[in-house]
Amino acid sequence: MSGVSIGDQSWTAEQWEELKALILNTGTTLPAGTVLPAGLLELWLSGATLPAGMVLPAGLRKLWLSGDGSLPAGTVLPAGLLELWLSGGTLPAGTVLPAGLRQLRLYHTTLPAGTVLPAGLQYLWLYHGTLASGTVLPAGLRELWLDKATLPAGTVLPAGLRVEVIGAVVWAEEVETPI
């Protein structure tokens, strides 16, 4: 391999293999067949697009989707992914969130109906976001941060949960909180 070029960025083969973080901006599309470096830890898509069938590296720890950045249907998130940030980006319906996911940050984003939050999730941040009706908060969730966000009626808050509320809508008469 002589090197890799994506949009206005380019790397030598050696630089590409050593890459730990990759930021792709609006209008950038990874060509089909692109193999991301095995050691990639962070992938930031700011309005960029991944091709269908893209394999994300097993070692990826943080994925950030912003603007019109989105994952194509069928994208498999790596089991070791620890943080997922969605800022106006989209997750296709049926996306499986990895069991090891610890942080989920949603900005101007609604998770598709039927999304299952992993049992190991510890931190959930909703900023101008909404959980779909029927979303179950995992029992191990430690912190829920709501800023101009909405929890649907019937949401059950786990025992011991720390909740930070800033201009959020919480339907108190219909939200169950264990004692």
Domain boundaries, the chain: 1-98, 102-179
Cα distances (angstroms) measured from residue 15 to each of 19, 39, 60, 162: 6, 11, 17, 43
Among 15-24, 122-131, 160-169, the minimum mean pLDDT is found in 160-169
Q: Model's pTM, two decimal places?
A: 0.82
pLDDT tens for each residue of 21-65: 888 877 777 777 888 888 889 998 887 777 877 888 899 999 988
- Note the pLDDT of residue 154: 79
Interacting residues of 173 by C-beta distance below 8 A, sequence separation 6+: none
User: Which letter does DSSP use for residue 172 in this model?
Assistant: G
- Note the pLDDT of residue 179: 38
Chain centroid, CA 56 distance in Å: 13
For the chain, where are the alpha helices, taking DSSP H only?
13-18
